[in-house]
Amino acid sequence: MLVVSKIIANKEAYIKALEKRNFDAAPILDKVITLDEDRRATQAQLDNILADSNTLSKEIGILFKNGEVQKANVLKEKTAQLKESSKELATKLTGLQTALIEVLYTIPNIPHDSVPDGQSDEDNEEVFKEGDIPKLEEGALPHWELAKKYDIIDFELGVKITGAGFPVYKGKGARLQRALISYFLDKNTEGGYKEYQVPHLVNEVSGYGTGQLPDKEGQMYHVTGDDLYLIPTAEVPVTNMFRDDLLQESELPVCCTGYTPCFRREAGSYGAHVRGLNRLHQFDKVEIVRIEKPENSYKALDGMVEHVKNILRELKLPYRILRLCGGDIGFTAALTYDFEVFSTAQDRWLEISSVSNFESYQANRLKLRFKDKNGKNQLAHTLNGSSLALPRVLAGILENYQTPKGIKIPEVLVPYCGFEYID
């Protein structure tokens, strides 16, 4: 959520910056400023009435003490009128504050200067590419065929139990899943991230805190009986651990990692490009989250990118990094890098990670602050990244590592799996 004082101070710059998102900000920023002016005027009126009421109360006490009962009663009538007026103003103030917050929730984050112009994912900017694309034997199969051939993932059984997009992993497929989770967590903890196990359901306040609500409400599974939401990513519960916190500067950075299943309705996603593991309603992911001082957050973002690079280098998967354009960047992010692994059997790039800096956008929603060395409270910056999402990593391994002998397991995963081939 944007800070109102910064909207007022930077209105024209914000309007220009949000054009990158194809977002017409002028009318809504004007509405924010008008609501804030009304809020401040109402607050000033209320403060004045309360001050007058306090003054009169003191005078009444003195009059009663001096035996001037008639004068005291006249002032009591005035205080009663002031009390009624203060109630009306307090109700008005609450309404204005609520209206202001609701409007602020509809404004996306200001994109970083480096975010390229563009309308869609076709306009994203490739900034890095590494790894050799393997040459597969003739007749190489996509992962959904390999899953059936080696009996390691059963998509139809998932349909029977739940529905499409909920696969069942079997035998070596399940063990490979577990190996990837353990490997990712070990890499993250070695990189200085503290591991957490967090709830897989969150309340509405948590959804608003990290920006999934109201923006992505239709994409989240809602447990209506308890008004809870199944998490779309560990980012939500992990970041919300620090909601309403006031940290000390010495505590920063805070670096967290956690494994969770993720649940996404993915409404409107159809076609061959979402076949198999390419898009699921339930999948596993290991996440990294950082809380940083503002001046350090972009250096931290670069460090997160390098961290994910090193994991993909160890897995020996060909990958590239894209800087997302204004038309494709997420609602809450200021800058996002997407990692994509090349699926040789499908002859296409598959997104496997997004690493983002939200600057103070989430922190303002969360009221997540830190006390700097001068004793001043400041909003922190939050960052998060997939490290990594399992389905498409698994798809890349199955497809790129297939051989006539079977699917070779990346060397770094063999100690975790306990086997070298799926055959």
Asked whether the beta carbons of 172 and 422 are under 8 A apart, the reply is yes
pLDDT at 161 over 90: yes
Pick from 23-27, 130-134, 267-271, 317-321: least confident: 267-271
Average pLDDT for residues 385-398, to the nearest whole number? Answer: 96
Residue 146 within a domain: yes
Residue 330 within a domain: yes
Pure H helices in 105-231: 143-149, 155-161, 172-190, 204-210
Q: What is the pLDDT of residues 347-359, one digit of tens each?
A: 999 999 999 999 9
Q: What is the pLDDT of residues 243-302, one digit of tens each?
A: 999 999 999 999 999 999 999 998 655 555 678 999 999 999 999 999 999 999 999 999
Domain that holds residue 286: 121-422
Residue 407 within a domain: yes
Q: What is the pLDDT of residues 118-150, one digit of tens each?
A: 999 999 999 999 999 999 888 899 999 999 999
Total of domains in the chain: 2
The label of the residue with tokens 């004082």 reads 5
Residue 109 within a domain: no
Domain boundary among 104, 135, 169: 104
Residue 163 within a domain: yes
The pLDDT, as a whole number, for residue 96 is 98
Q: Residue 345 is part of a domain; what is its CATH number?
A: 3.30.930.10
Average pLDDT for residues 363-385, to the nearest whole number? Answer: 97
The pLDDT, as a whole number, for residue 269 is 55
The label of the residue with tokens 């989240």 reads 220
Pure H helices in 256-413: 297-315, 361-366, 390-400
Distances (CA, A) of 163 to 150, 218, 281: 22, 18, 9
pTM value is 0.93
Residue 115 within a domain: no
Question: Does residue 178 share a domain with residue 38?
Answer: no
Question: Does residue 230 share a domain with residue 97?
Answer: no
Question: Does residue 240 share a domain with residue 97?
Answer: no
Q: What is the pLDDT of residues 47-82, one digit of tens each?
A: 999 998 888 888 888 888 888 888 888 888 888 888
Question: Does residue 327 share a domain with residue 250?
Answer: yes
Q: Residue 96 is part of a domain; what is its CATH number?
A: 1.10.287
Question: Does residue 141 share a domain with residue 67?
Answer: no
- pLDDT band at residue 409, thresholds of 50, 70 and 90? very high
Residue 84 within a domain: yes
